[in-house]
Amino acid sequence: MPRTELSHATMFGTAHALPPHTFIMFGATGDLARRKLFPALFALYQNGQLPAQFAVMGTARTPYTLPAFRADVRAALESFARCPVDADAWADFAEHLFYCPVDVRSPEDFSRLREAVTDIERRFDLPEQRVFYLAMAPELFADVVIQLQGCGLTAARGWRRLIIEKPFGRDLASAERLNDQLQQVFEEAEIYRIDHYLGKEMVQNIEVLRFANSIFEPVWDNRSIQNVQITSSETVGVEERAGYYDQAGALRDMVQNHMLQMVMMVAMEPPSRLKTEAIRDEKVKVLRSLRRLSGAEVASHVVRGQYASGQIAGQAVPGYCSEPGVPADSRTETFVAARLWIDNFRWAGVPFYIRTGKRMAAKVTEIVIQFKELPRMYFNQTGQLLPNRLVIHVHPEEGISIQVNAKRPGTDGAVVPVAMEFGQAPDNSPEAYERLLYDGIRGDSTFFTRWDEVSLAWKFVDPIAESFRMNRVPLALYPAGSWGPAASDQLLAADDARWWPLTGQAPAIPEQVHQAGHPLD
């Protein structure tokens, strides 16, 4: 059943209670469910955003009893919930939790699941409005969907929605196969491909920053902007994900989804209206304009690296090939930097530099908009004249800063960079999964990825992945705790540019002026 389009403007207003529904979570005993999904659902409940009529049916292969399952969820909330767990709120929330063990390849188990779901819907007078969340290995997505159809759970008289995690395929061909399988059961409007970066406060705020402020949109183009830099770095290694990560690497794990999503949010044209499909249409236009690299061009525009041993926060850490579960001769990249070009009227000639990596010096996600420099005919004698920059702090800080040049107090007339900053405490912001679950349940797919976004992203990434596989791009080692291989700096130096310091690096701004009324937390 097609979804009624919701106004995206409500995202920036008061959140309202969601419609009655049954939330069926596959992989309910997994790490994602414990760390993110149950804490997000409980936060929605504490905030009064879940309706009085709802049920959460957890499923996994583990043969839990209901009391054991509820106890496990309580333990997860104690460890990972954003706010303290109120005992009374937990007692009420727990009454909405249920569990049914399911082997995803067993039709008999799915028949039992259907009986359990329909029984709960009858007992709690719930309409047949169902959300299916697949928090499990992607190779099982199609099996689950086919079994859901076979047992009749998808034949709901109300609406139905399928929310699935990344990765959506490992290349264009596998993504097309998976999409074809899913669309045998669900319509495109019912499929919600989640990318948690799109749930982050400041990523969503890019729209407002651009389209609600007349000081930005007139200069948001190639006449005023020199380059755009997007960084998403992590201090952790592969941890327990070696089996997946060694097959995916940073290119598939981060660039194909998270990094390109941020590129789209920065580069999109103003939508005709703040409606879901109008916004997504503009994002897709960015990918259609993204210059695709041939195999021969990849080495000139892309850097790949792998972390060697080093130190993180003063502690020695091993190199990637010494991590448990990683082959000693692995050539999987843990770092990617790239120079992208968007060949349209607004962005022609403006390089977009992206970089992402593991075991780097700090965990930070930031977007730097560097404006063009003015002629130095007046201020090149004294002081330090730097280009204006707008920095969007996505994580761990949330906010924006604008660097301008001003005269230093005194009589020497020196020009110095100063920063006006706005920051907000991340602890006061809903976690990304809270926003995305809220949107998915209510039927707003604005910040979920549409199939044409997925397919176009793979069309851009696949030639790069093939060049990596054929070793056409050197694999540069970088010490853990650094900001990546030297080739990443050389990529920008070839354009007479450099990576600007980020949160966690030595500041490039010697003096800061806080915006009145908005001190940094």
Question: Please, what CATH class does the domain formed by 8-193 belong to?
Answer: alpha beta
Q: What is the DSSP letter of 165?
A: P
- For the segment 229-257, the average pLDDT, to the nearest whole number, is 93
Least confidently predicted of 207-211, 439-443, 461-465:
207-211
Cβ proximity of 336 and 254 under 8 Å:
yes
Q: Which residue has the tokens 């109120």?
A: 86
> Per residue in 62-83, pLDDT tens?
999 999 999 999 999 999 998 8
Residue 34 pLDDT: 95
Residue 147 CA neighbour count, 13 Å, CB half: 21
- For the stretch 127-186, pLDDT in tens is 999 999 999 988 999 999 999 999 999 998 999 999 998 889 999 999 999 999 999 999
What integer pLDDT is reported at residue 69 of this predicted model? 97
- Fill in the DSSP letter of residue 219: G
The CATH architecture to which 198-493 belongs is 2-Layer Sandwich (3.30)
Does residue 80 contact residue 43 with C-beta atoms inside 8 Å? no
Active site residues: 258
Q: How confident is the model at residue 240 (pLDDT cuts 50, 70, 90)?
A: confident
What does the pLDDT look like over 89-106, one tens digit per residue? 999 999 999 999 999 999
| Alpha-helical runs (H) found in 168-275 | 172-182, 201-211, 242-250, 260-267
What 3-state DSSP class applies to 212?
A: coil
Residue 503 has pLDDT above 90, yes or no: no
Give pLDDT, residue 408.
Answer: 80
| pLDDT (average), residues 197-219 | 90
Reported confidence tier of residue 236, pLDDT bands at 50, 70, 90 = very high
Task: Please give the pLDDT value at position 380.
Answer: 56
List of residues 6+ apart from 205 with CB closer than 8 A? 392
Closest CA to 131 of 71, 194, 46: 194
CB 82 within 8 A of CB 431: yes
Let me know: does 97 contact 70? Beta carbons within 8 Å.
yes
Per-residue pLDDT tens over the stretch 345-400:
999 999 999 999 999 999 999 999 999 987 776 665 555 678 999 999 998 889 99
Q: Average model confidence (pLDDT) for the chain?
A: 90
Burial class (CB in 10 A: 0-12, 13-18, 19+), 215: exposed
Q: Where are the domains of the chain?
A: 8-193, 198-493
Q: What's the pLDDT tens digit per position in 261-280?
A: 999 999 999 999 888 999 99
Half-sphere exposure of 324 (CA within 13 A, CB side): 3
Residue 332's DSSP bridge partners are none
Write down the pLDDT at residue 475.
Answer: 97
**What is the tens place of the pLDDT at every residue in 274-316?**
889 999 999 999 999 999 999 889 999 999 999 999 999 899 9
Q: Which helix (H) or strand (E) holds 80?
A: helix 66-80
Range scoring the smallest mean pLDDT among 12-16, 20-24, 371-375, 447-451: 12-16
Which tokens is 186 given? 């669900």
Determine the pLDDT at residue 504. Answer: 60
Asked if residues 276 and 444 have their Cβ atoms less than 8 Å apart, the reply is: yes
- The C-alpha atoms of residue 404 and residue 428 are separated, in whole angstroms, by 29
**Is the pLDDT assigned to residue 192 strictly greater than 50?**
yes
Lowest mean pLDDT among 142-156, 404-418, 465-479: 404-418
Query: Given this model, what pLDDT does residue 378 score?
Result: 65
